[in-house]
Amino acid sequence: MSIKIALAGNPNCGKTTLFNDLTGSTQYVGNWPGVTVEKKEGRLSGHKDVIIQDLPGIYSLSPYTLEEVVSRNYLVNEKPDVILNIVDGTNIERNLYLTTQLVEIGLPVVLAFNMMDLVRKNGDRIDTEKLGRELGCKTIEISALHSENTKKAAELAIREAETFRREKLEGKRRELPHVFTGSVEHALAHIEESIQDTVEPENLRWFAVKLFERDTKATDGLQLPEGLIKHIDLHVKDCEKEVDDDAESIITNQRYTYIQEIVADTVKKKQSRHAMTT
């Protein structure tokens, strides 16, 4: 059975280094259809049935840059078997913003905490297992530059893809992290309910958040009836009134707040910036 692993992460998180390490000389380089964004694909060394798909480096899955749109269209429409999300261990807080979006898509996500050689050198501590439990992902610590645990990361992704496939057949649904506050969750629950006949159960959260944000690029393909879109918008407007902010900012701000909370609980920097400047 063939498996497709998509590599996703921020710019400079070490994606190319990992991709080269995993695929060796079996790379194919082209462009994504219709755009001059580089597309790189390769075969996992030693596994002829496993394809590694490199995605453009991105900070978010918002609709503003070509790279973001290419990445999310690929993940949502082509549906790789698993996402291997490379997280720069020296820059956790910024990197996890993308992670909170990736887990909503409804594909299994494995978190590879990269640059662990630097993290250790700096004397910082990251409870990667706890972060994984919080975000609902399997985790591994790697150093792509030193080929440390890279093969294991790919193998973990393969196992996750197989587990997810089995669970889907059994009709199991995975729990998502609790990112948003009550009034947002309330609106999202209503939206999910109103589109449950249109999208696959595991993709409900992704489309509900996109509809909440009025991200039409992501939701036009659903071809929802006009009346339903108006109905959804009433829930969004209620929430905007209650939180006193616009929908897109609400989602963005609550992601940041959530990440700050889980990072405060799991990442201990040896030297805080304050300690260094005083």
> Smallest distance, Å, CB 114 to Mg ion?
12
- From the list 44, 115, 156, 158, which residue makes contact with ligand GDP (rule: CB under 6 A)? 115
- Counting contacts by CB under 6 A, is residue 271 touching ligand GDP? no
Quick one: what does residue 11 bind among ligand GDP, K ion, Mg ion, none, with the CB cut-off 5 to 8 Å set by partner type?
ligand GDP
Question: 247 is written with which tokens?
Answer: 């929908």
Quick one: what does residue 13 bind among K ion, ligand GDP, Mg ion, none, with the CB cut-off 5 to 8 Å set by partner type?
ligand GDP
- Counting contacts by CB under 5 A, is residue 31 touching K ion? yes
Q: Where are the beta strands (DSSP E) in the chain?
A: 3-9, 27-31, 38-43, 50-54, 82-88, 109-114, 125-126, 138-141, 267-268
**Phi-psi sector, 215: left (phi>0), alpha (psi -120 to 50), beta:** beta
Residues 108-147 that bind K ion (CB under 5 A): none
Q: Is 277 annotated as a binding residue?
A: no
Q: Is 14 annotated as a binding residue?
A: yes
Question: 134 is written with which tokens?
Answer: 């919080």
- Counting contacts by CB under 6 A, is residue 218 touching ligand GDP? no
List b or e across 17-51, with b for residues whose CB sees 16 or more CB atoms inside 10 angstroms: bbbbbbbeeeeeeeebeeeebebbbbbbbebeebb
Please list the residues that pair with 87 across neighbouring strands.
Answer: 113
> Smallest distance, Å, CB 7 to ligand GDP?
9
- Counting contacts by CB under 5 A, is residue 27 touching Mg ion? no
Measured from the CB atom, the residue of 37 and 263 that comes closer to Mg ion is 37
Quick one: what does residue 12 bind among ligand GDP, Mg ion, K ion, none, with the CB cut-off 5 to 8 Å set by partner type?
ligand GDP
- Counting contacts by CB under 6 A, is residue 85 touching ligand GDP? no
Q: What are the angstrom distances between the C-alpha of 275 and each of 11, 26, 94, 119, 158? A: 29, 47, 21, 18, 42
- Provide the annotated binding site for GTP: 9-16, 34-38, 54-57, 114-117
